[in-house]
Amino acid sequence: MSLTPKASGDEAEQLFSKTRTQSMSLNRIISERDAVSEAREAKTARLRELRLEKEADDRAAALVLAAMPKRAGKR
């Protein structure tokens, strides 16, 4: 069975179309993965900032308590 030039061109077009579709799908998957990764990094940074603020507040509160004079208990 021999292919005519027209048949070969159609087959080549189909293969190219399939390759292009696969490439577009791969690019979409990569973009989605990158978006998820960026969102995770942003959330991690926000949570780290909140944790550091809370730790600083806790240290400041501990210093205030330590500086307060101690009361003698009732007897």
Encode the chain (75 residues) as per-residue pLDDT tens digits. Answer: 455 566 788 999 999 999 999 999 999 999 999 999 999 999 999 999 999 999 999 999 999 999 888 876 665
User: CA angle, corner 29, sides to 25 and 34, nearest 5?
Assistant: 145
Question: In sequence order, what are the residues at sequence separation of 6 or more whose Cβ sits closer than 8 angstroms to the Cβ of residue 3?
Answer: 11
Predicted pLDDT at 2? 53
Domain boundaries, the chain: 27-65
64: which 2 tokens?
């205030």
Predicted pLDDT at 70? 82
Q: pTM for this structure?
A: 0.59
